[in-house]
Amino acid sequence: MIEIILGDDGIPRCSWGDSPEIYRVYHDDEWGHPVDSDRTLFEKLCLEGFQAGLSWLTILKRREGFRSAFHNFDIDRVAEMTEADVERLLQDTGIIRHRGKIESTINNAQRAQEVIAEFGSLGALAWSYEPQGERPILDATTAESTALSKDLKKRGFGFVGPTTAYAFMQAMGIV
């Protein structure tokens, strides 16, 4: 269970979201706020995938670099990226230079296009996994995140394990 603390500003927040300031801003202004914009959802899903094995602070510090590298997470533009783009991004010090994660981002854009064609939006699929009843804040996985992960993997998405899916669900406000 994530510990809730009272920040020095008197605002209660998750213990991870109080310091440093970049965490506080993300926690207070974005994390857990309901999202249905395809571009924003795609960004959150990609950044959670890049975070696998790393700290969230590492990702937040490089967020603008990711936005620049991946066309502000415009799904159609990312879906059109090529092997030449992958090679270029492997030299980009503004992002995490992991071939598998870069290639997965491009693949996930193509899969996102398919989800949007089928469901009308990424949000329609993601929100279909919203837990019913009480929504506890846990720090690993839930039955719903495991189901979402399986669904995304079945559709060909990469770097979307149950823990990543749960972090995505938390970030986008489902839980």
Closest CA to 27 of 15, 36, 37: 15
Is 31 considered catalytic here? no
Is 103 considered catalytic here? no
Check 23, 31, 43, 48 and give the catalytic one: 48
Is 56 considered catalytic here? yes
Check 23, 31, 43, 56 and give the catalytic one: 56
Partner residues linked to 5 by β-bridges:
13
DSSP, residue by residue, 21-67: HHHHHHHHHTTTS----HHHHHHHHHHHHHHTTS-HHHHHHTHHHHH
Distance CA 106, CA 79 (A): 5
Give catalytic residue positions. Answer: 26, 48, 56
